[in-house]
Amino acid sequence: MGARGFPLQENSEERSNMAGAREETRVPAFLVPRGMSRKEFLRLGGAGMAGAVLLGTAGCGVFEGGSQGGTGASNPRNITFNLEDTIRDLDSTTTTDSVSTDILLNVMSGLYRLDADTRPVPDLAKDVRMSEDQLTYTFTLREGIKWSNGDPVTAQDFEYAWLKVLNPDTGAQYAYIISTFVKGANGYNTGKGSADDVAVKATDEKTLEVELVAPYPFWLGLTAFYTYLPLNKKFVEEQGEDYALSSDALLFNGPYKLTSFEPTEGITMVKNEGYWNKANVPIEKVEGKIVKELDTAVNLYESGELDVQTIDGEYVDEYKDSPEYHTLTFFATFYMVGNQKLVLFRNPNVRKAIQIGYDRNALVNQILKNGSASAPGLVPFGIAGPGKETFRDAVGPTQPEFDRDEARSLFQKGIDELGENPAIELLAYDDSTSRDVATFLQSQLQDNLGAKIDIKVQPFDRKLELEANGDFQLSWQAWIADYNDPMTFLDLFESTSPFNTYQYSNPDYDKLISGAREELDETKRMDMLEKAEKILIAEDAGCAPIFFQGQARLQQPYITRYVNQPYGGGRDISLWRVSNT
């Protein structure tokens, strides 16, 4: 996945061993009585060895220090959810993964916040004035907003934080989310200018002025994005290298405060009584646990110890008629990409063979079964396009259909040109569903192409690190939209992008992306982005889109509103609503 990573939830189907995969504790099919589903078996706690295995897993630190016996069932104003993977980085200037940002979204506030309908609304900003040319934004902060240590939140906190992100010494992968749009920011970030050139100025404690490079109708919503969050300079500098490594090394200004934080176990958040909008935050305490195994997580949900749990595979079949079953879709794409620093993936025939060498429909319909859709291009369904059309509807498919015979022919041609058929290492996440996907891709590419595929399973945070360093051969990755525009996907493959660690490069593509970034005519701009995707996917096979992510979940009946933003955010629990019974 791109550095903006997020784990898939897990699949309950049995899986074969994979190269490099560690053994997992699961419920073998032969232990489930005939005629009984795994769900029913888990609800009863299992029997014999399987019951001991599952109950032992749930009792070995998964919920130690948390609320035993079901927090939501006994008190719907306390919620427990599954983070699903390791918490990698709670520093808003450097973090990139969705597990960490799910937390930051709840304990931090920026100028604006996305509401339950994904519309930007004022948060710490009281209001904003926009110049007639739509280039200058003047934000006025609310009165009485403060950090959890009692310090006031000021306009200087925003200026300091944004400049820290842009400082080349910070090495922030997400600096581009500011430098692309704010005047003078790119020069500072690339070492060609200074901080004084950046058009972000706190004119007093309550006023922040920002000048953009060009009019961007979606930019106001970006101020809700975590890279735009403020920082208390004095506190950050006092903490030094320890900043954000513990709950005591963080300050909070959002709906919740973090009271405990263990990167591999989870977090506890309590309602922030100092938050300006606390009256509209009904849930008082939140436990975020890390449970990677879906069988275990569903068992915990059934026993009331998780209030929300994502599901897929056979659990979708078993729960789809339940009133506790819900679905949603994200502006998110999973795709395969080969590292072009390797001569193998510089061969276009090899890339094109991989792109059409696996059955995407079989993957989403037989393995995932969670509402995910086969991807006909890189930009997912729903992203805004020209006029009132979505980009996907306007452009149509850019990825060729699955064609086993053509894929085998192209791959053979490619390896003939290279003079060898080397083993290819496929980098994969270590959760159960990801292992299923990796096994599927391995089988398809071996059977359909005649390729030799070894799977390298890595924990979520380690996989992101390897990808960020360009230390992989073939990887299946993911990107969730940062804002509602095709550019949030297409600029990943620009040759200068910090996320382009796979070394794709095409001057024509770069020209279209840079041109679209500056083009003021929306029709021309969308036409440039359409041509760019066709070059990347149809002509160069620079990546192989797999699926657009859907999500199926189980949700306790007392949760009456669940919000997981389809782009640019995450699970904003301040927007969740619960019944009083």
Sole residue written with tokens 């079953």: 325
- Tell me how far apart the alpha carbons of residues 378 and 60 are, in angstroms, rounded to a whole number: 41
Asked whether 571 and 99 are in contact (CB, 8 A), the reply is no
- Tell me how far apart the alpha carbons of residues 455 and 441 are, in angstroms, rounded to a whole number: 10
- Tell me how far apart the alpha carbons of residues 63 and 268 are, in angstroms, rounded to a whole number: 11
Sole residue written with tokens 């939830």: 9
- Tell me how far apart the alpha carbons of residues 153 and 147 are, in angstroms, rounded to a whole number: 6
**CATH code of the domain in which 461 resides:** 3.10.105.10
Domain count, the chain: 2
| 494 and 348 in a common domain | yes
- Least-confidence region, from 1-5, 11-15, 198-202, 389-393: 11-15
pLDDT band at 581 (very low <50, low <70, confident <90, very high): very low
pLDDT band at 75 (very low <50, low <70, confident <90, very high): low
322 within some domain: no
Mean pLDDT (whole number) for 316-332: 93
Residue 11 confidence (pLDDT) above 60? no
| End residue of a domain, out of 223, 240, 257 | 240
192 within some domain: yes
pLDDT band at 464 (very low <50, low <70, confident <90, very high): confident
| 402 and 523 in a common domain | yes
| 374 and 479 in a common domain | yes
- Tell me how far apart the alpha carbons of residues 513 and 503 are, in angstroms, rounded to a whole number: 16
| 542 and 397 in a common domain | yes
Residue 12 confidence (pLDDT) above 80? no
Residue 238: partners with Cβ closer than 8 Å, 6 or more residues away = none
Asked whether 537 and 335 are in contact (CB, 8 A), the reply is no
Q: Which pLDDT score is estimated for 482? A: 86
564 within some domain: no
| 375 and 509 in a common domain | yes
Give the DSSP letter of residue 511: H
- Tell me how far apart the alpha carbons of residues 538 and 400 are, in angstroms, rounded to a whole number: 7
> In terms of Cα–Cα distance, which of 386, 389, 391 is closest to 521?
386
Residue 475 confidence (pLDDT) above 50? yes
- The pLDDT mean for the chain works out to 87
- Least-confidence region, from 191-200, 460-469, 522-531: 460-469
Mean pLDDT (whole number) for 313-319: 90
| 536 and 423 in a common domain | yes
536 within some domain: yes
Residue 563 confidence (pLDDT) above 50? yes
Q: Which pLDDT score is estimated for 263? A: 94
Residue 3 confidence (pLDDT) above 70? no
- Least-confidence region, from 18-32, 130-144, 239-253, 395-409: 18-32
**CATH code of the domain in which 196 resides:** 3.90.76.10
| End residue of a domain, out of 186, 214, 240 | 240
Beta bridge partner(s), residue 209: 138, 201
pLDDT band at 46 (very low <50, low <70, confident <90, very high): very low
Mean pLDDT (whole number) for 52-76: 36
Q: Which pLDDT score is estimated for 242? A: 96
Classify residue 191 as exposed, middle or buried by CB count within 10 Å of its CB (0-12, 13-18, 19+).
exposed
Token reading at 384: 């805004």
Q: Whole-model pTM?
A: 0.75
326 within some domain: no
Domain of 417? 331-550
Phi, psi of 369, deg, nearest 5: 55, 35
423 within some domain: yes
Q: Percentage of the chain surpassing pLDDT 70?
A: 87
Helices assigned H by DSSP within 397-499: 404-418, 432-449, 460-468, 487-490
| 347 and 217 in a common domain | no
| 370 and 234 in a common domain | no
- Least-confidence region, from 123-132, 217-226, 271-280: 217-226
Phi, psi of 401, deg, nearest 5: -70, 160
First to last CA, the chain: 41
Residue 88 confidence (pLDDT) above 70? yes
| End residue of a domain, out of 208, 240, 272 | 240
Residue 54 confidence (pLDDT) above 80? no
Mean pLDDT (whole number) for 481-494: 93
For the stretch 414-429, pLDDT in tens is 999 999 999 999 999 8
Residue 73 confidence (pLDDT) above 50? no
Token reading at 119: 């519309």
Tally of residues, the chain: 581
For the stretch 136-187, pLDDT in tens is 999 999 999 999 999 999 999 999 999 999 999 999 989 999 999 999 999 9
Residue 210 confidence (pLDDT) above 80? yes
| 355 and 233 in a common domain | no
> In terms of Cα–Cα distance, which of 166, 193, 164, 161 is closest to 177?
166
Q: Please state, as a whole number, how many other Cβ atoms lie within 10 Å of the Cβ of residue 220.
A: 17
Phi, psi of 276, deg, nearest 5: -60, -30
- Tell me how far apart the alpha carbons of residues 356 and 359 are, in angstroms, rounded to a whole number: 8
Mean pLDDT (whole number) for 49-78: 38
Question: Which of the two residues, 5 and 434, has the higher pLDDT score?
Answer: 434
Token reading at 256: 């919740």
For the stretch 90-123, pLDDT in tens is 999 999 888 999 999 999 999 999 999 889 999 9
b (16+ CB within 10 A) / e for 455-484: bbbbbbbebbebbbeeebbbbbbbbbbbbb
> In terms of Cα–Cα distance, which of 41, 36, 44, 7 is closest to 26?
41
- Least-confidence region, from 14-18, 126-130, 221-225, 430-434: 14-18
pLDDT band at 564 (very low <50, low <70, confident <90, very high): very high
Token reading at 355: 């792109």
Sole residue written with tokens 């032992």: 56
> In terms of Cα–Cα distance, which of 574, 552, 479, 430 is closest to 85?
430
pLDDT band at 217 (very low <50, low <70, confident <90, very high): confident
Between CA 45 and CA 49, with CA 46 as vertex, the angle to 5 degrees is 125
Residue 35 confidence (pLDDT) above 70? no
Mean pLDDT (whole number) for 47-57: 27
Q: Which pLDDT score is estimated for 251? A: 98
246 within some domain: no
Mean pLDDT (whole number) for 47-66: 29
Question: Which of the two residues, 40 and 580, has the higher pLDDT score?
Answer: 580
DSSP secondary structure, 364-393, as one string: IIIII-SS-EE-SSSSPTT-B-STTSBHHH
234 within some domain: yes
Question: Which of the two residues, 19 and 455, has the higher pLDDT score?
Answer: 455
Residue 516 confidence (pLDDT) above 50? yes
